[in-house]
Chains A and B, each alone.
Chain A
């Protein structure tokens, strides 16, 4: 058995043969033509055919994957009719008295180079579009046969990378999943895989060898792994994972679009916890009502230096837009304790859980904090963003935060940058101090969210990392539940709402307890949304 690891773009488990995407490899030769008018005509005809093919692809994509994904083929038609592009090709044919293939190929290289030399990642990506349209014309000119996968049973499609026209042309019934050597999570392959709901892994690198063509394999889109010639044990485990996933999908069919309401009519919001902008697909797929906890740490953990305001803004905006008006609660940075980042230059601490972390860093290094707040406020113009602050222990801290937030708002107002004036703010309830002060804290904020992991560890004085303490640990300790109830009562007394975003939120044994407390929202990992909805709908 050989195991390959890449970056997961979309979850799911499929078992089948690997088929490499075949392209018509051809070498572009240059030869002299006598009758350049005829050669131009030959090109014009190929171009017209290419455009009608693209129109057909556009229509197919509209039906299969929607307008957003189909748009690319309309763009490609426009590019093929671009006068600069056409002038260049015709000029080469007539000026150099050469064949159309050579003229198209040379022009494609020049235009692709123009895009790849631009200092903008998005524009650099457009070089692939130029190559894609030119390849199409070249295929028609050379009368090459169809590229694609040669199979009549469903396969795992492997390739170095796939361009949009290639992915959309594939017969969906024959595709179990995608595995590519390169590509990014923003590539068309990734986007289409998400839309098509099939596992996809990118960035497998050179390890994905052409010799695996035809090999029996398992693609595990959840873990980003491909098992070639899996052993019996792996195969069994994967079959089970696949069955679980299918059961979940069946549940999804049954529960999607249904309300989170108990038999007696009590409603509760079920939101999702995410740790990266790429998780939004899962959130929507599992029908979450919003995002209850977006951990912004990944922006800091994935970087070698402080993420810029624009970098953060782009991510927050993307998530807010994708959630299309549903609430997105973004927690400000929670670095420190078990999450260390080199460039923060944090001192080693005897007791990091009780140390310099989260809001404590933000309040003592306000420039880091303000950059994040500015990015969050700017993004708030694009969706329903709420800001949540971690590790609060006092009313004073909240007042200080609000003062800083007001400063940032004033700066943005001054600069004429749009943002949502009445953006919701909330705090994590994860320290016993916050619970004890919750009546006063509730006066200052719009909502609470209970972080049960830290609240449990601080309440019980038990370090979860220490296995020796397991005998003393009780996840349902009445002290913790009493803490949550106290915070809930105080939030409600001030007319504010309260959610739970820690592990306990997903604990189906406690769902009824939380409903009795009147908890307004549970935020859990995306895969727990539907099981939880089922539980709520069965509760009295």
Chain B
């Protein structure tokens, strides 16, 4: 399993549009991908779960990836967060 922490810079947090893009990105990989904010956790492949975390600007989240393609997945997701959020 691999994970990284990320502090959200987008003013609106993970709102609908980036949530959709994130789910799309996560869906490209076989690995299980989770996003954790505080004690709440959501499956990054499920849009309602991701939106339900209500991640706001300046929130710190942990992204964890577990599975066969975790190395590619974690690199892609880090790049995604840096570019979009």
Task: Name A's B-contacting residues (CB within 8 A).
Answer: 71, 74-75, 78-79, 82-85, 111, 114-115, 118-120, 122-123, 126, 129-130, 313-314, 317
CB pair A118 B47 closer than 8 Å: no
Question: Closest chain B residue to A123 by CB distance?
Answer: B54
A92 smallest CB distance to B (angstroms): 16
With a cutoff of 8 Å between Cβ atoms, the chain B residues found around residue A75 in the complex are: 16-17, 20, 47
Q: Does B67 contact A (CB under 8 A)?
A: no
- B39 CB within 8 Å of chain A: no
Contact of B46 (CB < 8 Å), options: A84, A114, A119? A84
Does B24 sit at the interface, judged by CB under 8 A? Answer: yes
Q: Are B49 and A78 in contact (CB under 8 A)?
A: no
Residue in chain B with minimal CB distance to A379: B11
Q: Which of B11, B15, B17, B48 contacts A79 (CB 8 A)?
A: B48
The binding surface of chain A is classed by DSSP as helix
How many whole Å from B34's CB to the nearest CB in chain A?
A: 13
Q: Contacts A78-B47, A82-B48 known; A126 to B16 CB distance under 8 Å?
A: yes
Q: Could you tell me the distance between the alpha carbons of A314 and B49 in the complex, rounded to whole angstroms?
A: 26
Known A71-B20, A122-B15, A130-B48; 8 more pairs at CB < 8 Å: A71-B17, A78-B23, A78-B24, A82-B48, A83-B45, A84-B49, A119-B54, A123-B15
Nearest chain A CB to B43 CB, angstrom units: 7
User: Inter-chain contact count A-B, CB under 8 Å?
Assistant: 49
Please, how many angstroms separate the alpha-carbon atoms of A79 and B52 in the complex? Answer: 12
Q: Which residues of B contact A118 (CB under 8 A)?
A: 52, 54
Beyond A118-B54, A120-B56, A122-B12, whether A84 also contacts B48 by CB under 8 A is yes
Question: Please, which residues of chain A bring their CB within 8 A of the CB of B52?
Answer: 114-115, 118
Query: Taking the complex as formed, is B61 at the interface, i.e. its CB lies under 8 A from any CB of chain A?
Result: no
Chain B residues contacting A79 (CB-CB under 8 Å) are: 47-48
Q: Mark each residue of chain B from 53 to 73: 1 if its CB lies under 8 Å from any CB of chain A, else 0.
A: 010100000000000000000
Interface residues of B (CB under 8 A from A): 11-13, 15-17, 20, 23-24, 43, 45-49, 51-52, 54, 56
Asked if A123 and B51 sit within 8 Å, CB to CB, the answer is yes
Q: Smallest distance from the beta carbon of A187 to chain B beta carbons, Å? A: 14
- Is A120 a contact of B51 with CB atoms below 8 Å? no
Q: A122 vs B54: C-alpha distance in the bound complex, in angstroms?
A: 10
What's the minimum C-beta distance from A360 to chain B, rounded to whole angstroms? Answer: 32
Which 4 A-B pairs have CB atoms at the shortest separation, nearest pair first? A82-B48, A82-B47, A75-B20, A78-B47
For the complex, give the distance between the alpha carbons of A82 and B45 in Å.
8
Chain B nearest CB, measured from A91 CB (Å): 15
Best-surrounded residue of B46, B47, B48, B56 (most CB of chain A within 10 A) = B48
> With A and B bound together, what is the CA distance between A118 and B49 in angstroms?
13
Q: How far is the CA of A130 from the CA of B52 in the complex (A)?
A: 13
Given the known inter-chain contacts A78-B24, A82-B47, A111-B48, please indicate yes or no for A120 contacting B54, CB distance below 8 A.
Answer: yes
For A382, the closest partner residue in chain B by CB is B11
Specify which chain A residues have a CB less than 8 angstroms from the CB of B43 in the assembled complex.
Answer: 83-84
Give chain B nearest CB distance to A377 CB in angstroms.
14
Contact A126–B46 (Cβ < 8 Å) = no
With A82-B46, A84-B46 in contact, is A74–B20 under 8 Å at CB? yes
- 22 inter-chain pairs at a CB distance below 8 angstroms, sorted by A residue, are A71-B17, A71-B20, A74-B20, A75-B16, A78-B23, A79-B48, A82-B46, A82-B48, A82-B49, A84-B43, A84-B49, A111-B48, A115-B52, A118-B52, A120-B13, A123-B15, A123-B51, A123-B54, A126-B51, A129-B16, A313-B11, A314-B11
